[in-house]
Structure 1
Amino acid sequence: MNLQQLRYVVATAEHRTMTDAARSLYIAQPALSRAIRDLERELGMTLFARSGRGVIVTAQGRRVVKLAREALDAVHEIEALSAQGRSPEAELRIASPPGLEPGVAGRILRAYSAEHPKVRVHIVRCDGRDGVVSAIRDQRADLGLTDLPVPADLISHPLERQEIVLISPPGLDLPDPVPVRMLDGMPLVLPAPGGIRRREFDSLFAKYGVAPVAALETDGRDDRLEPVRAGAASLLWYRGTAEQAVRAGLVVRSLDPSLRRVIALVHARRRLPAIAQEFLTVAEGGSAA
């Protein structure tokens, strides 16, 4: 038995399907199934039983999952102690996509640093929500700042609602705000197919009966604005990126009806280090609806 197997057990219990658990762990589903079977043989007990397209946790499995969570939490705390022992000052790691850094993250960080000047806050830059979730699961960050929803194995603390805007090349004959119906046939930079964010956009388009043209499909943060700068497409993103877009000579417009997403701090289902809990307290105390 090893820590990797314990992480597999916890993920399978939380997602209730091998496919979703494997996706969250960034491994192949057959490899996850094989690892679980090997652990069950080693322990001499059945942890999961098949139920339709998913799995259910057995009575013995529930006890093992509980202990596995406690063991992983203990490992996390030991690693935190070790990190503090190597550094004269405590370090708090916050995962965030670039679009949220200047606004939400910046405001919270200033308030937190004023109250806790001896804590060094390190921003772990991530490619969108999936990158934030991955950083939390891999324990590369203590907290994450992202839009909702997030997978059920993470706990979220909503902070504010942020507007989605249309970022376009200059010279387009568009009103402000732009009616959502005008997105029909418009060349847009869209998230890559198959991901959570792309499914959300597709659901939004279906709701309003529009079908934009995918000029570029990418999850990379560095290449989103390039087609917009080149005049080939527009981009739906957060108001927090508006300053960067305006500096690049682009035009930012609201949408009608107004579209907003909830921004939240998220973390794993484990006991937070004291410095992370204090950051959460400061963030919730200064958040705005």
Structure 2
Amino acid sequence: MNLQQLRYVVATAEHRTMTDAARSLYIAQPALSRAIRDLERELGMTLFARSGRGVVVTAQGRRVVKLAREALDAVREIESLSTHGHTSEAELRIASTPSLESGLAGRLLPAYTAEHPGVRVHIVRCDGRDGVVNAIRDHRADLGLTDLPVPPDLVSHPLERQEIVLISPPGVDLPDPVPVRRLNGMRLVLPSPGSARRKEFDALFAKHGVAPVVVNHVDERGNWLSAISGTASMLWYRGTADQAARAGLVVRTLDPSVRRVIALVHARRRLPAIAQEFLSVAEGGSAA
């Protein structure tokens, strides 16, 4: 058993498919599958069981994944002792929702990697704020990028206030800006009932006395724009405007405007030096 195998196990557990895990590790999928099989033979247990197109972690596998994450965390902590010199490659793991990932990759990562070229940054994709919170709690990520609020067991570092906009298919007859009262009876794609973001939207609707018609539910999995079709619109972040425009959709502001605070979050513990340095770069370049 070696650290590389432990990284393979953790990546497979995070992505739930061998293909996606191999892509995140920059290796071929057959090589990952062989490495997992070799480790299972060495341990004498099955870590992953096939389920449809993906895999699920077995009961024994969950224990191994937990210990593997703890071991990798310990290794990263040891590596961080010398990360100011970056004599060996260290890895920084950042959890993010797909809608915020473009801003992370487009603004924060280039600024950070320019100053710290010896650090490999791995983005852990999560479905919504709850996914980011769980990634931090489960030690799958050192930092998380999400909107606020987050539970009190996490520390938040606000970076900016991002506007919520209405994204619609072309041909929908609406003014710009769109009065929030016009959402009454509008066909909308919304987050799943019970999710944190859905509760916030429901509170917004109640505040303005509007009742949209929900035509579909979608949570962040990277292809959420495909849910906008026919005459159905969606409320999402201003930071996705370019992506929406490339997809042929129309972005309009709301009146009055609705904004969410975007922050980097982490657990209440001492951060590795590379994570502290990322926070410094992000806060130094953030704009309200």
Q: What pairs up with 1:158-197 in 2 under 5 angstroms?
A: 158-197=158-197
Partner of 1:203: 203
Q: Indicate how the Cα distance of structure 1 residues 83 and 111 shifts in structure 2: closer, same or farther if over 3 A, else same.
A: closer
Residue 95 of structure 1 and its aligned partner are, at CA, apart by 0.7
Secondary structure of 2:133's partner? helix
Q: After the TM superposition, which parts of structure 1 deviate over 4 Å for at least 4 consecutive aligned residues?
A: 72-76, 82-85
Give the match for residue 280 of structure 1. 279
Q: What's the CA shift for 1:94?
A: 0.7
Give the AA of the match of 2:275. A
Per the alignment, in what secondary structure is the counterpart of residue 225 of structure 1?
helix
Aligned twin of 1:226: 226
CA distance in 2, matches of 1:227, 1:191: 11
Instruction: Tell me the equivalent position of 1:81.
Output: 78
Q: Report the CA distance shift for 1:121/1:200 in structure 2 as closer, same or farther (over 3 A).
A: same
- Which aligned pairs between 1:147-158 and structure 2 lie closer than 5 A? 147-158=147-158
Q: How does 1:33-44 map to 2 (within 5 A)?
A: none
| 2:263 aligned partner | 264
CA positional deviation for 1:80: 3.8
Give the aligned residue type for 2:92: L
How many aligned residue pairs are there?
216
> Do 2:144 and 2:265's aligned partners in 1 also have CA atoms closer than 8 Å?
yes
Distance 1:73 1:284, change over 3 A: farther
2:139 aligned with 1:139: yes
Contact 1:215/1:232 (8 A) holds in 2: no
Deviation per CA, 1:11-64: give whole Å up to 9, x if none: xxxxxxxxxxxxxxxxxxxxxxxxxxxxxxxxxxxxxxxxxxxxxxxxxxxxxx
**Which consecutive residues of structure 2, in runs of 5 or more, have no partner in the other structure?**
1-68
Distance change (3 Å), C-alpha of 1:231 and 1:198: same
Partner of 1:34: none
Q: Is the 8 A contact 1:73 1:271 kept in 2?
A: no
Identity of aligned residues (%): 74
Match of 1:37 in 2: none
Q: Which residue of 1 aligns with 2:246?
A: 247
CA contact (8 A) 1:129 1:147 kept: yes
The answer as to whether partners of 1:105 and 1:145 remain within 8 angstroms in 2 is: no
Quick one: distance in 2 between partners of 1:263 and 1:100? 9
AA matched with 1:162: Q
Contact 1:189 1:214 in 2 (8 A): yes
In structure 2, relative to structure 1, the CA distance for the partners of 1:172 and 1:234 (3 Å cut) is: same
- The answer for unaligned runs of 5 or more in structure 1 is 1-71
Rounded to whole Å, the distance in 2 between the matches of 1:83 and 1:158 is 24
- Measure, in 1, the Cα distance between the counterparts of 2:72 and 2:115: 29
CA contact (8 A) 2:93 2:124 kept: yes
Name the aligned partner's letter for residue 257 of structure 1: P
TM-score, normalised via structure 1 length: 0.70
